[in-house]
Amino acid sequence: MAINLTNRKPNFAKKRSHALNTSPKKQKLNLQTVKLENGKKVRLSTKEIKTLKKNEK
């Protein structure tokens, strides 16, 4: 099973209809399973994966 390393939490917002009615919604993180160099599977957000790839160079 992959370990979740992110400390980020989902964002809570409000949906707005054309009639301006509001209802709460939850914006979940885009978590992806990635295999690290040591072979461990980790769940990271796509933003963190992008940062890791940029720092590898």
- Give the CA-trace dihedral at 20, 25, 30, 32, to 10 degrees: -150
Euclidean distance between the first and the last CA atom of the chain, given in angstroms as a whole number: 29
Which residues, 6 or more positions from 13, have their beta carbon under 8 angstroms from its beta carbon?
24, 25, 26, 27
CATH number for the domain formed by residue range(s) 3-56: 2.30.170.40
Q: Is the pLDDT of residue 2 over 80?
A: no
pLDDT tens for each residue of 14-55: 999 999 999 999 999 999 999 988 999 999 999 999 998 999
pLDDT tens for each residue of 47-56: 999 998 999 8
Task: Report yes or no on whether pTM surpasses 0.85.
Answer: no
| Domain ranges (residues) in the chain | 3-56
Residue predicted with more confidence, 6 or 32? 32
How far is CA 26 from its chain centroid? 13
